[in-house]
Structure formats: C-alpha cells, structure tokens
Amino acid sequence: MKHIEVVAAIIKNDNKILCVQRKESSLSYISKKYEFPGGKMEVNETKVETIVREIKEELAMDIIVNQEFLTVTHQYPDFLLTMHSFICTCNNRDIILIEHIDYKWLEVDELDNLDWAAADIPIVNKLIEN
C-alpha cells in the first residue's frame, strides 16, 4: 500500500480559519471535499519549508507557521496518508485559487458545516474542542 506524507496549514486571520475545496476527482472519497491546504513533502525539505512552499504555490499566499497542531494517519481505499497539521497565521485574506475550486473563511463553530475530506476531520474536531 502506498504511503503519502503531507503537511496541512490551519491558517487563521481575525478568528477565522481558511477552508479550501478540492477540485473534482476520479477518487470519489476526496472529490470536491473541503480540506486544510497543504501538500507533499519534497526530498530534504522540512515540514515548515513544505507548508510555506505549498501555500505559496496553491494560494499565492504568505503565511507564518506558528506551531505543530496534530498529526493524523488515515487509511484511504488507495493509500495510507500521514498528515502533519500546523497552526499558521496570515496578514491578509487575499488568495488566488490555483489548485482548489472554492474557499471559505469560517469561525471554529462553523467548521463542522462543511463536507470535509476524511483525514481532515480529526483536525476539525480538535479545533472545535479547544
């Protein structure tokens, strides 16, 4: 079974959190689901370097990585995913959607209104609990 390691940014600005929606995919279990933005680590890249690069590439946005939040391991039908999430901040909410089809800035108590990718749900739940 293929194992993929990724990072995800929980980007906060004025008590709102950025949620992005994936494009349509042939993999029905992630198609059009909401997620925290991020991506795959490259060789010799740290988690923090990865998250800064991925957010710049996917959203044309600069972030400040504050702290590691939660690591999730999730078994999808086709692969095993390990996702390291980080609490991040940004100075403004200006983004350009490059890899996603929609985005929302939501307060913590609104997060469970979205249709999340399964691997992101433990992060959502921990954010709501805190």
- The encoded tokens of residue 72 equal 């999730």
Find the CATH number of the domain harbouring 34: 3.90.79.10
| Strand-strand pairing, 16-22 and 38-40 | unpaired
Token output for 44:
């010799």
pLDDT tens for the chain, 130 residues long, are 899 999 999 999 999 999 999 999 988 889 999 999 999 999 999 999 999 999 999 999 999 999 999 999 999 999 999 999 999 999 999 999 999 999 999 999 999 999 999 999 999 999 999 8
- What is the spatial distance between Cα 16 and Cα 32, in angstroms, rounded to a whole number? 21
Strand-pairing partners, residue 67, are 87
Which residue range is the domain that position 49 belongs to?
A: 2-129
Q: What pTM did the predictor assign? A: 0.95
Domain count, the chain: 1
How far CA 114 is from CA of 35, 36, 86, 100, 121, in Å, comes to: 9, 12, 20, 15, 10
Q: Decide if 32 contacts 19 (C-beta within 8 A).
A: no
